Amino acid sequence: MNPLSPLDAFLHLANFFAPAWSVAALLALFAKLLWRQALQSQPWSQLLFWGGLGGSLGALAALVLLGHDGKMLGYGLMLLGVSLPQWWLTLKR
């Protein structure tokens, strides 16, 4: 068995966190489009950052709780982690 190279480790981590950050980017984009007036003071980058961070924490929590990624409950935790910061930032305005 070949040892894991640094590039392989980076790509493995990037692929683990990619769904959370992709969903966060889409949610931030659609939230800014749909609620243009309500989210006018919130920058897109702030919505993306907090959503991506929450989704990453949700994916990590699923990995710890379930033992591996790729389960539906894990994706549910990731979506919850992405959407809660978006909701909080929308209410905070």
Q: Is residue 75 part of a domain?
A: yes
pTM of structure = 0.85
Residue 4: how many CA atoms within 13 Å on its side-chain side? 7
9 found inside a domain? no
| SS3 category, 16 | helix
Q: Is residue 23 part of a domain?
A: yes
What value does the mean pLDDT take over residues 26-52? 90
Give the total number of structural domains in the chain: 1
Residue 32 near residue 24 (C-beta atoms within 8 A): no
Domain boundaries, position 67: 19-92
pLDDT in tens, 3-37: 888 999 999 999 999 999 999 999 999 999 988 88
Is the Cβ–Cβ distance between 55 and 20 less than 8 Å? yes
pLDDT of residue 1: 64
Q: Is 44 domain-assigned?
A: yes
Nearest residue to 48 via CA among 61, 31, 60 = 31
Is residue 48 a part of any domain in this protein?
yes
Considering just the CA atoms, what is the radius of gyration of the chain in Å?
15
8: in domain: no
Confirm whether 10 is domain-assigned: no
